[in-house]
Each structure stands twice: as C-alpha cells, then as structure tokens.
A and B are shown apart, each in its own frame.
Chain A
Amino acid sequence: AQRVTQPEKLLSVFKGAPVELKCNYSYSGSPELFWYVQYSRQRLQLLLRHISRESIKGFTADLNKGETSFHLKKPFAQEEDSAMYYCAPSYSGAGSYQLTFGKGTKLSVIP
C-alpha cells in the first residue's frame, strides 16, 4: 500500500526564516508528486507539482528518488504562508490518477 509521511503536524517559524516541510513516500514505480495547500477558509488548491519544476510563491520542492522524499522549501517565510500543507503522490493505476494525501503539516509563520 502507498504511504505518505509528513512527520511534523505543526511547524512554527518566524517571518523571514527558512521553511522546510518534510514529506516521505513509499511507492512502487515512479509516482507523480504534488503539494497542495489550504489557506484559512479556502478550499484545497494545488501549490506545485514536481514535473513542472517551477517555483510557486517562492516555494520549491526537490524530488529525491533515492530517499523517496519530496520536501517543500522556502528560503524566507512570509505571514501569508501560514496554512495547511499536504504532500500528495499520485498513484496511476488502471488509468486512474488518485492522489494519496499525507496527514498534513500546519505551518504557522510568527510575525
């Protein structure tokens, strides 16, 4: 069974400090990897996907296949980054593209 581990339930950092949200997955094959974010009172939305290799809102994520990790990073945290972050590998089976979500990390940026 596919498993996603986000070890930190809550992460508090000061504004301007670097942020790293950890994600480890256990998968067979080569999953596609996503980070989704949920800001207060908003719906879940895509933050970034590894295949596009882009930086969104200053966040980047590096896929390490050897360590099966997909950690999310930002060099300088902003208050508006406070939100719930979910790592979500995508398992493609039988033509389906289901997402398997971790339990999430709540990021709190302290002014």
Chain B
Amino acid sequence: DAGVTQSPTHLIKTRGQQVTLRCSPKSGHDTVSWYQQALGQGPQFIFQYYEEEERQRGNFPDRFSGHQFPNYSSELNVNALLLGDSALYLCASSKPLKGLNTEAFFGQGTRLTVV
C-alpha cells in the first residue's frame, strides 16, 4: 500500500488561473480531507468528502471546490487563483469508526506557487 498519494508534487500557476490537485487515499479509507498549509502555519481544514459528497467545510471561499469519485479518490479545484493561495496543500484519508475519529493518514502534499 503506497499510502496517500498526491499529484502533482509541485505546481506553478499564474494569478487568475485555475488549478486541480489530485489525491488517492490509503487503501480501505473512504473519507478524504483537504488542508491548506501556509508557510509557518499549521494545516487549515478546507473540506472533507465522504460517499462522494462534501460533508464539512472550513472557512474557505467558493473558489475552492472539490470532488470525490466512486473509488474514493478526490480532487481539489481552485479557481481565480490569488497570490495568497500559494501554500502546501495536504490530502488526508481516514476511515472513521462510528462516532469516533481515527488516525488521518497524510499525503506528501502539493506545493502550489501562484505568481
């Protein structure tokens, strides 16, 4: 099991463009969360997907959207990129047990630079 894999590892985009980041969860996991980590900060929750639906969303604008596929993989889309969107984007997968959170496994991240 390769664990959580993200692609691409690095990306440079121009302000105003759109970007799609991809994540494959750890085998057996059905829940995917996305986090943004700015330099010197802790990861900040963007949203979480389960059964192909957005289950919870953090304090991020609608420019940030996502999708989960039947195989549990997920995409994060960001439209109208701003310089402030430059960050490390982390994907985490888990399989919460009923009523309890469980260990989240993180990918290595995608480093997005907006110029």
A interface residue numbers (CB < 8 A to B): 4, 32, 34, 43-46, 49, 51, 86, 88, 90, 92-104
Contact between B43 and A44 (Cβ–Cβ < 8 Å)?
Answer: yes
Contact between B103 and A46 (Cβ–Cβ < 8 Å)?
Answer: yes
Contact between B103 and A97 (Cβ–Cβ < 8 Å)?
Answer: no
Question: Given A44-B43, A44-B90, are A51 and B48 neighbors across the interface (CB < 8 Å)?
Answer: no
Q: Can you name 21 A-B pairs with beta carbons within 8 Å? A: A43-B108, A45-B106, A46-B104, A86-B43, A88-B42, A90-B101, A92-B99, A94-B55, A97-B94, A97-B101, A98-B33, A98-B48, A98-B58, A99-B33, A99-B35, A99-B92, A99-B101, A99-B104, A103-B42, A104-B41, A104-B42
Question: Given A32-B101, A44-B90, are A102 and B42 neighbors across the interface (CB < 8 Å)?
Answer: yes
Q: How far is the CB of A98 from chain B (nearest CB, A)?
A: 5
Contact between B56 and A98 (Cβ–Cβ < 8 Å)?
Answer: yes
Contact with A along B57-94 (1 / 0, CB 8 A): 01000000000000000000000000000000010101
Q: How far is the CB of B72 from chain A (nearest CB, A)?
A: 15
Contact of B48 among A34, A96, A103 (CB under 8 A): A96
